[in-house]
Structure 1
Amino acid sequence: MRMRKLFAGLAAAATMLGGLALGVSTANADDTLAVTADELGQTQSIVLQGDAAQLKDHTFKAVLLGAYDGGEWTDASKETLASVSVRTETNVLAKVENALKTIEGVKDADDKFISPDIIEGEGTDAVTISGTAYNDYKASVYKDNPVAFIARYFLGYEATDSGNTDNRDTTSSLKSEHYAGLLRDLVEVLGDGDDTVGSVFEGVADATTEYAERGKATVTISGLTPGIYIIMDSSTGDVIEPSQDEPSKYTASIHMLVGTKLAGKDLEHQELGAVAVKNELIEVNKEILKAKGEYNEEPVNESDQNVGDVIDYKLSTKVPNTTGYETKCGTVDAEAECDGTNYLSYVLTLNDTLSKGLTLNDKVTDTDQSHTGIVVRVAKTDDPDPSDDDDWLTLAEDTDYLITISDVADTTGDYVGGTLLRVDLSKWINNTIVGKEKGNAYIGKEIRVDYSATLNSDAVIGVEGNPNKVDLTYSNKPDGDSTGTIPGPEPEVFTFDFGFQKVAASDNSNLSGAKFSIKALDGKYAGKYLTKNDKGEWVPTPATDSKAEGETPYEFSEIADSDGRFYFSGLAAGQYEVEETTAPTGYLQSVKPKTVVTITWTGQNTKPEPDGAYTVAFSKDGTWDLITPYLSGDSLSTDIVEGNTADRPLVNIKNAKNLTELPLTGGAGIALFVVVGLLLTGAAVMVYAKMRGTMKALRV
């Protein structure tokens, strides 16, 4: 039988599918242009390209599937190749043939499988063609050379002598279709398992080797026999430690098919020996959307709150490209839907951890049977409007995802006593994405989880804050069951306090028995007097028959200790009017101090992490100079940069037993002068009236 060779132009374009271009040698080829044995014997390299983060610490191996055994130069200059021929390696022939048995046959423009009458060769009329690539292969002239068949027909490249000089791939899927064409399926089957035996070469990524532009890198696998290789990422995929500002990781790459150069040269119309790495960028994010009753103009990762305030959170990630992952739900042919217990193919779980000071609001009402306070949606567009239901697919609990809520197991650290929320999206991913990647509109779209939490009475007061973290568990290796976990941002909620000491004006001795009210001058409760409910949360004072909510002062005495130290804790930044409503027994009830306390969050917007530093400033009493620094040398303004204000009071607030203990200078002195003057005037009036009455009596 006449021997036939496949002459292939191999392209390793920047996409995995730009793999091969084929040409059939002509009978009148110029022998002087044939590639020599010495040229065939020169070892070659394959260069993997990508972002530095894609390649850092990843290890790749190249397995030879078919070696070049001939070729032809374009002209005598030997600058480019017109064609090369390839033969399948004996030790992988069975593997490649078995892979073809699992793949759909090649179809023409009318969506029909290739039939014997359009396959070259003799004696194919009697072959019955079924819907598999293997049957097409056995009916072709390449029946003993499966790698040649893949190049010639499976990749869809037309012969160069048929006019397709730009080597266009006419049937396999493009990057925009998520690599999910026939070639993609074939390469994943070829790389699956341990029976891919061949000449194995390895290369470890060096992110310091940059190309084209900053942040890019290459991996070079050298010493290769010229030919066609399958490139596999043998790393776990869980190798990038992201910073909080850039929470992202790359999975292990899906397998790639690429041909080397021959004698260091490319085909006339295509570069050889280079391929772009195909690993998936995994991202997870967490933001505070709404705080103090208002939506933020932009999502933030820090907020200041009153104890009792509700904070709206958003978790997000992207629908992954699951190409290369087998569906394992139900039967081998993956027809059965995932039932919630058997969906090991692709794992995607959001793990959200709330510290003890945050109460998860997982239900809208206490009687709800499901977790109605947690809403899970998938975007239908690249730029969805959060408020437009038409832009989102709302998933159903149990049907599409599973929720578990448990106590944090940590015994040390910031999350002791906290709550762990898991949102397992694997069910929806495996039913909707795995095995259905080609043309799938959801791949790359946002997955969004919304819920709220209440800052409770266990909140950490002061600089340290109340953190809330998220991480994402995901499948990270296409041909295995391994998973990775990527940490996301850790937003923090801060709440503040201030304290003061009651003292006697005469000698600064501690006083007890005073009562104070507090009114918010700005923020969500602006203009309202505040009190605490039975949960320890700040709320406006209740309405009465004659006054509206927040109009009646509440007299605080229970927040003071036996030495007269008052602490108002769990407050957001802002201004508060603090007024003494009852003086200690034995002290002037007509002279009670009042001050405006300003809490300024100075650590806001501090990078790289949230910072709870703040300043507390007391105004002077408007009438009496009864507010002084707690420590000698201090001022009425104090910066809090570590710990919290409960370490000590910040100012003394004084009470006087009589007028002589009050200051006699400044505004207070004038006030005292006015009081004394009024008393003297009153006395004079009384004396004058008395005298007039006496003289009138004498005249009678």
Structure 2
Amino acid sequence: MKMRKLFAGIAAAATLLGGMALGAASAQADDTPTTVTTNATFTFTAETAEQLTNANLKAYKIGDYVQYGSGADVAYGVVTNSANKKAVDSALTAAGVHVAENQDKLAAALNTGALDISATRPWNSPDKTRKFANALESESKLVDGKSVTFGTPTGSGKSGYSATVSLPAGIYVFIDSAVATGSVTKAIPMIVASGTVDTAKKVLADPAAGATVNMKNTKNPGKTKEVDKASVAIGDTLTYTLTGIIANPAPTEFKFTDKPGKGLTIKAGTFKFYADDVEISANEVATDFTVPTFDVTGSENASFDVTVNDPSKYAGKTIKVTFSAMINDEASVTDGVVNKLDNYGTDVEAKTGFVGFDFTKVDPDGKGIENVTFQVKDGGTVLYFVKQEDGSYKKAASATTSGATADVKTNGMGKLSFTGLDAAKTYTVTETNRASDVYLDIKPSFTVSFKNGTAVLSRTATSDPWGLVNTTARTVKNVKSITQLPLTGAAGTTLFTVVALLVAGVGVTVAVKSRQRMH
């Protein structure tokens, strides 16, 4: 056979995105070329079996091998697969690979070395081939994809795993449509070619020789979610932290899907980003990340995405995202507020709860006194509450909450109950208005703190000089006459002093009157 021209492709020792060596040739010959249809074995290797079993690959043939002549005069070349020619040409242009017109673009790109090669991580580089592969994945024009069905992977955790598939010899792009799991990423597109190269002649030889490719996915570090407070009060603000490691090679998509529950309002404009614990500048955040631009109100089905626009830029890095959420009036005092993070199909929860307390206003006989007014303070701030259907008071997110009041009143049994409070805080409760003039105008106060979620009442001689607060029984007494006051502590001493002065005063009066009679 007379060969007019044969152009060699890539050196034998090289690999094309992890595949076996590829020689590319374009040829003109007197003979009509025939497409090589012999099957080749494509072997995929991975660190874990799941990288292979989770994959859902389709193989799209983008390059055919053609044979010229036979016997000793045989030669091989590459032509773009006719069914996918439009997609290949478009993807080459998108990747910045430009060749002269009126020739097979894929063959020309291989011959000139425009499609560079890579066998090592992160597989983002070389630039042209990765862009070509990514462009092919996004091409809707690709056709005739063959589903890749692996047998059971062989190997071990020590030596790695492998699985094979048999396909007609040629150049393929393998595209994964699997969903990332908590332990493995979705594979990035892989371009793999069967065949070997005759290093001496630098021509394609034995096109049906098997190819081996390292699976372009990786063990996937899980995502985590944390909240800065285990307990909080309605109206307060929480800070959430989302953490995830972008695998290397980077997946084509990386995002945090957050699911704020009822009672949370995610505040837009509070998002901050960190890469390996170094804060990312506002300018970079604006281009590298997509976040909600409006507040997000939590509910049973609410969710929002925090997206890394170009995961390859942060391949191998730990990404942290922090943002603020306000506890709104919809929060459940029983269930608390729950914010979830989608960890590749499994939700990670960050829960914050509330606490409450109660006490009873009683008369000297232990009977409840209705309609006594109290206020609750957090430090020097008077808190607002909304009365519930059961008579309890739920903390309001703000003074503007519908039905909110700072003046809470005892019910018919003399009881007051409060919910929606923070276990980490200490609250001051003060009586501000007695039920009626029947009772003495004595207004004690006391504090409430929490130990293991249980309310602990405390009083001092200053806040309750008459000893009207029983911290164990959780009662606050009022009386109708001074003689009903407790005769204990500083208040008892004061009472005895008052009585003694009264008696002394009576004695003085009697003595004066007696003297007046003697005169």
What range is the shorter-chain TM-score in? Answer: 0.5 to 0.7
Aligned to 2:373: 515
Q: Which residue of 1 aligns with 2:414?
A: 564
Structure 2: any 5+ residue segments left out of the alignment? 26-37, 68-73, 198-209, 387-394, 400-404
Q: Are positions 1:237 and 2:175 aligned together?
A: no
Aligned partners of 1:405 and 1:422 also within 8 Å: no
8 Å Cα contact 1:7-1:86 kept in structure 2: no
Instruction: Say whether the 8 Å CA contact 1:102–1:132 is kept in structure 2.
Output: no
Counterpart residue number, 1:456 = 328
Q: Distance in 2 between matches of 1:500 and 1:285?
A: 44
Q: Which of 350, 358, 374 in structure 1 is aligned with 2:264?
A: 358
Q: 2:279 aligns with which of 385, 388, 399?
A: 385
Show the counterpart of 1:577: 428
- In structure 2, what is the equivalent of residue 305 of structure 1? 232
State the Cα distance separating 1:101 from its structure 2 match.
4.4
**How far apart, CA to CA, are the structure 2 residues paired with 1:660 and 1:495?**
41
Aligned partner of 1:276 among 183, 192, 214: 214
Q: Could you give the per-residue CA deviations for residues 15-56 of structure 1, whole angstroms, max 9, x where no partner exists?
A: 9346427699xxxxxxxxxxxxxxxx9996724214566445
Residue of structure 2 equivalent to 1:212: 158
Q: Report the secondary structure of 1:578's partner residue.
A: strand
Map 1:665-676 → 2, pairs under 5 A: 668=488, 670-671=489-490, 673-675=492-494
Q: SS at the partner of 2:279?
A: coil
Is 1:501 matched up with 2:360?
Answer: yes
Alignment partner of 1:624 is 2:467: yes
C-alpha distance 302-67 of structure 1, shift in aligned 2 (>3 A): farther
Encode CA deviations 1:472-520: one digit per residue, 9 max, x unaligned. Answer: 9xxxxxxxxxxxx8566443443322112223342x3322132223333
Give the direction of change, closer, same or farther, for the CA distance of 1:587–1:529 in structure 2 (3 Å limit).
farther
Tell me the secondary structure at the aligned position of residue 374 of structure 2: strand
Give me the whole-angstrom Cα distance separating, in 2, the residues matched to 1:469 and 1:421. 9
Question: CA separation of 1:136/1:671 partners in 2, compared to 1, >3 Å: closer, same or farther?
Answer: closer
Q: Which moved more, 1:530-539 or 1:680-689?
A: 530-539
Instruction: Trace 1:19-58 onto structure 2 (pairs within 5 A).
Output: 19-20=20-21, 46-51=43-48, 54-58=51-55
Of 396, 408, 414 in structure 2, the residue corresponding to residue 536 of structure 1 is 396
Please say if residues 426 and 449 of structure 2, whose CA atoms lie closer than 8 Å, have aligned partners that are also in contact. yes
Q: Is the 8 A contact 2:66 2:78 kept in 1?
A: no
Distance 1:183 1:591 in 2: 81
Residue 374 of structure 1 corresponds to 269
Label 1:155 to 1:196 Cα distance change in 2 as closer, same or farther (>3 A). Answer: same
Q: 1:11 to 1:591 in 2, by over 3 A?
A: farther
Q: Deviations over 1:206-253 (max 9, x none)?
A: 6x964238xxx634126x58976647355x32252x4xxxxx862244
**Equivalent residue number for residue 677 of structure 1:** 496
Counterparts of 2:354 and 2:263, CA distance in 1:
10
Q: For each residue in 1:628-658, what CA deviation from the matched residue of structure 2 results, as whole angstroms up to 9, or x when unmatched?
A: 656xxxxxxxxxxxxxxxxxxxx34333445
2:40 and 2:288 map into 1 onto residues whose CA distance is: 56
2:28 aligns with none
Select which of 444, 450, 459 maps to 1:599: 450
Match of 1:193 in 2: 142
- Give the 3 Å change call, closer, same or farther, for CA 86–699 of structure 1 in structure 2: farther
Aligned partner of 1:654 in structure 2 is: 477
Match of 2:129 among 176, 179, 182: 182
**Count of aligned positions:** 466
- TM-score scaled by length of structure 2: 0.64
* CA-CA distance at 1:318 after TM superposition: 8.6
Shift in Å, 1:130: 0.9
CA distance in 2 between partners of 1:675 and 1:617 (Å)? 28
Deviations 1:356-406 (A, max 9, x none): 423455xxxxxxxxxxx4367888x765435x546x343599xx8885778
1:671 and 1:555, CA in 2 relative to 1: closer, same or farther beyond 3 A? farther
State the 1:203 CA deviation: 0.8
- Tell whether the 8 Å contact from 1:11 to 1:18 is kept in structure 2 after alignment: no
- Kindly report the root-mean-square deviation, in angstroms, between the aligned alpha carbons of the 2 structures: 5.8
Classify the secondary structure of the residue corresponding to 2:234. Answer: coil
**Alpha-carbon separation, structure 1, partners of 2:13 and 2:212:** 8
Which whole-Å CA distance do the structure 1 matches of 2:260 and 2:134 have between them? Answer: 43
Superposed displacement of residue 324, structure 1: 11
1:404–1:421: 8 Å Cα contact kept in structure 2?
no
Question: Paired residue for 1:615, among 454, 458, 474?
Answer: 454
Change (3 A) 1:538 1:575: farther
CA contact (8 A) 1:466 1:494 kept: yes
User: Is residue 2:354 matched to residue 1:466?
Assistant: no
Query: Corresponding residue for 2:164?
Result: 221
Gaps of 5+ in 1: 25-40, 70-84, 106-110, 114-128, 139-148, 157-168, 243-247, 263-271, 288-298, 326-345, 362-372, 409-414, 473-484, 521-525, 540-553, 603-613, 631-650
Any idea what the Cα deviations from partners look like across 1:68-108, whole Å, max 9, x if unmatched?
A: 99xxxxxxxxxxxxxxx995799x85458777645659xxx
- Structure 2 Cα separation of the partners of residues 422 and 495 of structure 1: 25
Q: Structure 2 CA distance, aligned partners of 1:186 and 1:359?
A: 41
Structure 1: distance between partners of 2:97 and 2:326: 61
Give yes or no for contact 1:377–1:447 (8 Å, CA) kept in 2: no
Q: 1:255 aligns with which of 170, 183, 190?
A: 190
CA contact (8 A) 1:203 1:221 kept: yes
Distance between the aligned counterparts of 1:457 and 1:54, measured in 2?
A: 46
CA gap 1:396/1:101 in 2 versus in 1, 3 angstroms:
closer
After TM superposition, give the deviation of residue 465 of structure 1 in Å. Answer: 0.9
Displacement of 1:8 after TM fit?
A: 8.4
Q: Is the 8 A contact 1:512 1:563 kept in 2?
A: yes
Q: Is this contact kept in 1: 2:65–2:77, CA < 8 A?
A: yes
- Tell me the distance in 1 between the aligned counterparts of 2:122 and 2:66: 28
Contact 2:235 2:398 in 1 (8 A): yes
CA deviations over 1:182-222 (Å, ceiling 9, x no partner): 3662696499733357xx8621676x964238xxx634126
- Whole-angstrom distance in 2 between the partners of 1:486 and 1:617: 42
TM-score, L = length of structure 1: 0.50
Maintained 8 Å contact 1:11/1:21: no
Distance 1:311 1:673, change over 3 A: closer
SS at match of 2:497: helix
